[in-house]
Amino acid sequence: MDVIRIALLGYGTVGKGVHQTIQLQQERLQTLLGKRVELAGVLVKNINKHHIEDSSVLLTDNCEELFSLGNIHVVIDAIVGREPGFSYLKRAIQNGTHIITANKELFAHHGRELKSLADEKGVSIGYEATVGAGIPIIQTLSKLLQVNKVKRIQGILNGTSNFILSSMREKGLSFQEALKEAQEKGYAESDPGNDIEGRDAYFKALVLSDLAYGKKPEEEHTLLKGITDITIEQINYFSSLNLRFKHVAEIVKAPGKISCAVRPVLVSPEHPLYQVEYEQNAIAVETTIAGRITLQGLGAGMYPTASAVIEDLVQLENQHSQPVWREDVHLEAEEIEQSLWILPIRLEKQLKDKKKILGKLGSKCLIAKNLDEESLELRDHALEVLGGIDLPQIQGLQKSVKIS
């Protein structure tokens, strides 16, 4: 039987998950592919920290040794950060090898360059695992782009921050207590900065923006706000109004502009993200023809991420269509208000004590301009409802209410 030989970069949580999934699903993979999948080698940073029982698998901390292996068909990237992963993947492509990556930071910044090089060399790239782990958003979005145009993408893209907010609301924990619980359960790293400050979700948003629109908003024009300022008192108060805090990434295409924001929002029960709890992720895509499509599932972890990697492998080997990449549509990034709180509901009679609500959000508030131009009437209505409330001038990074 023919063999598909794989080289694996990294043997942490994702790398081990990929290896174990190949072992556990070998019979299924052989049925699907007509070939046996074989792990030929693994590149690690510190060889003394890892062990692989199968002696036929090369375990090395020397990239030259890994790249000298013969007949490698696919290189799978399961490491973090832009380097050395970017250099490794470029080298693999230049060698005529297909690549699959789970590295969202790398792909957010270098995906288009890698795709261009892959097209030149006639090889394929799989990157489903960069966003949403086991949620098949890349393939779904690619198929939608055949006919539909994407108007807006909203998503809970980070399981750590969502777990923390759910634990605070459901268990009455403080932020630090909820973070500690997430770390104990393996949902948060010892250094959780990328997760709780929104950078992880931002990298994923860049991947989705590039796929949907052919362009990424410039970093300096993107709003990025974490969840560390949210208190249990705020959560309890807004829970009494049937509102829930969610850490949401949003990408919007308006006439001539693309906007990107990652920030805490308050969502009401009718919103598709309202019921997304703990380590779950969800992505809602609004399209011109199909309307709103929402995908939900485990957004992180060993096996959900490994599942996405192996699905890419099957797609690649079966020579299914590659994800559609929009050509650069020459859209300028929109400067988004430097806001903290967003209230995506109608401020009508059910919210009678407006001053109290704004006080809970913070003393410095404004009505922020909508990201799109579809809700100007609603925004004007909100301005009328809130008439007479003193809204101080904005100075630097302030807090805002967005009506949508």
Instruction: Give the residue numbers marked as catalytic.
Output: 204
Task: Please tell me the distance from the alpha carbon of residue 321 to that of residue 398, in angstroms, as a whole number.
Answer: 45
- Per the structure block, which two tokens stand in for 157? 């893209």
364 backbone φψ class: left, alpha, beta (φ>0; ψ -120 to 50)? beta
- Per the structure block, which two tokens stand in for 276? 């997304």
Alpha carbon separation from 148 to 152, 212, 258, 259, 388 (Å, rounded): 12, 10, 17, 19, 43
Q: Which residues, other chains included, contact 265 with Cβ-Cβ below 8 Å and sequence gap of 6+?
A: 245, 246, 247, 248, 341, 342, 343, 344
**Contact of 259 with 217, CB cutoff 8 Å:** yes
User: In terms of DSSP H, where are the helices of 35-158?
Assistant: 63-67, 85-94, 104-121, 137-144
User: In terms of DSSP H, where are the helices of 172-231?
Assistant: 175-184, 193-196, 199-213
Residue closest to 9 by CA, chosen among 98, 88, 125: 88
Paired strand residues for 9: 43, 77
**Contact of 2 with 34, CB cutoff 8 Å:** yes
- Per the structure block, which two tokens stand in for 317? 């080997």
Task: Please tell me the distance from the alpha carbon of residue 75 to that of residue 72, in angstroms, as a whole number.
Answer: 7
